[in-house]
Amino acid sequence: MKAIIIGATGATGRELVRNLLNDEFFTEIIVLNRRAFFENHPKLTEHIIDFDKIENYKVLIKADVAFSCLGTTLKIAGNKENQWKVDHDYQLKFAEICHENKILSFVLLSAMNSNSNSKMFYSRMKGELEDKISKIKFDQLIILQPSLIVRPNTDRKGEKFAELILKSLNKINLLNNFKPIGTDDLSKAMIQSYKSYGKGFHRVKLKDIFQLIKHDL
């Protein structure tokens, strides 16, 4: 199987690439990045592209399954307009090209509480992206909605604090619907969802993400 990924240099994306390379089910991995990042590997092909002109790279976007986990933070993006471009516009255009190029399966990493009618910018952005991609007629469309994603050795104080609070509450069976998930586990769930789910549209909630992880073990 041949997989193509955008967002491969992010915390979850890096784990996704590593796990795909270690999975004998996949024979070729293509990543589209803005800069060179990965070491050479016989199964890996890395293309450096300009996401503002992704239409110019259509010929590269060919695979059996596409994984989309591109994203940034408001702090890194600098403003909401730039974050919307990365998290929404780039991923939507990628999905449209994947469909045009007859990629049958598309796996999108989204977020819990995504809602196009939300008053919260982040939730509305993710919700609008989900709504638009769900209208693209992929044979298999999978949208994962995790809660707090825990990066290994994170230096983000807010992320560390949220993880600590949630894990403490989870231990006494509170806020289990907001259980944090590590990037390695999440990437494994993305892969397993492609293998486990059949044709159609699958929106994968947090509890189902953890079930996929158990299935992968």
The CATH code of the domain that includes 24 is 3.40.50.720
Residue 155 domain-assigned (yes or no): no
Residue showing tokens 């702090």: 75
Residue 160 domain-assigned (yes or no): no
Of 178-182, 190-194, 211-215, where does mean pLDDT reach its minimum? Answer: 178-182
The pLDDT value given to residue 167: 43
The residue-averaged pLDDT of 127-135 equals 98
The pLDDT value given to residue 216: 64
Residue 5 CA to residue 94 CA, distance in Å, equals 10
Of 30-39, 60-69, 164-173, where does mean pLDDT reach its minimum? Answer: 164-173
Of 29-38, 135-144, 174-183, 190-199, where does mean pLDDT reach its minimum? Answer: 174-183
The token pair that represents 152 in the structure block: 């290994």
The pLDDT value given to residue 179: 82
User: Directed axis angle between helix 121-134 and helix 91-100, to 10°?
Assistant: 10
Amino acid at position 208, single letter: D
Residue 133 C-alpha from the chain's centroid = 13
User: pTM (2 decimals)?
Assistant: 0.89
Residue 172 domain-assigned (yes or no): no
Residue 32 domain-assigned (yes or no): yes
Strand 200-204 versus strand 140-144 pairing type: parallel
Residue 27 domain-assigned (yes or no): yes
The residue-averaged pLDDT of 36-61 equals 97
Closest to 154 measured CA to CA, from 186, 185, 122, 183:
183
The residue-averaged pLDDT of 149-165 equals 55
Overall residue count recorded for the chain in this entry: 217
Counting the structural domains of the chain, the total is: 1
Residue 56 domain-assigned (yes or no): yes
Confidence of residue 151 (pLDDT cuts 50, 70, 90): confident
Handedness of CA 28, 50, 88, 136 (dihedral sign): negative
pLDDT higher than 90, residue 62: yes
Answer whether 194's CB lies under 8 Å from 170's CB.
no
Residue 174 domain-assigned (yes or no): no
Residue 69 domain-assigned (yes or no): yes
Which domain range does residue 202 map to? 2-146+182-216
Residue 67 CA to residue 143 CA, distance in Å, equals 10
